[in-house]
Chains A and B, each alone.
Chain A
């Protein structure tokens, strides 16, 4: 069964740091780009970051550039998101998603259940 399982969320003070993890199973992890997407309470989906299958290319939304770092360990089938200098507006459920990029179109075809990050003093 193809599965993504996020962990690492929690309550952190403004200016603090947190590292999210996403454990993948059921597919050849290193063959696929991966992404983080977040959803603030009661709001819509917001793309945060993406990384190529090899890890050699990374991409960020302007809202997190310079503060968040995406990485992956293909030997452990795990995706990470290091979040520094956290702000109240980073409060959201963070989803990891498998990004299937094909000539037929690309899409986030598998999603984890999400992990909640709350930034508050």
Chain B
């Protein structure tokens, strides 16, 4: 089955811009969605589709994609953005539906 690969940890200075990436063959066929998870809480959708933000998600969060790589960009990172971030997509391998998550990226805001 397909996999999505994320860097385990990324750090960013307060107010600076950070990009979190996700690589996988399924991303050539399907958009990634991105989730933010803070300790002890359920995941929250932050980006889906080409670059769509659910209601209530700040516009400093944006998404992009090229080839087999999807990216989540936070422009002007805030202290409250410190969290784990997961990418997700359908799995294009085989002829049955599968869904995959990346291993997650721990974002530290310095």
Q: Which residues of A contact B (CB under 8 A)?
A: 35, 37, 44-47, 50, 59, 61-62, 95, 100, 102, 104-109, 111-114
Contacts and interface: CB of A to CB of B under 8 A. Distances in A.
B97 A105 contact: no
Given A111-B42, A113-B42, A61 B98 contact: yes
B44 A45 contact: no
B104 interface: yes
Nearest to B84: A44
A112 B31 CA distance: 23
B49 A104 contact: yes
Contacts, number: 70
Given A44-B102, A95-B43, A104-B49, A109 B54 contact: yes
A113 to B, nearest CB: 6
B99 interface: yes
B42 A104 contact: no
B33 interface: yes
Contacts of A104: 48-50, 52
A45 B44 CA distance: 12
- B1, B30, B37, B97 — most chain A CB neighbours (10 Å): B97
Contact of B42 (A105, A106, A107, A112): A112
Given A45-B86, A46-B101, A105 B45 contact: no
A1 B29 CA distance: 33
Contacts of B31: 105-106
10 contacts: A47-B88, A47-B101, A59-B98, A61-B98, A62-B1, A95-B43, A105-B33, A107-B33, A107-B45, A107-B49
A57 to B, nearest CB: 8
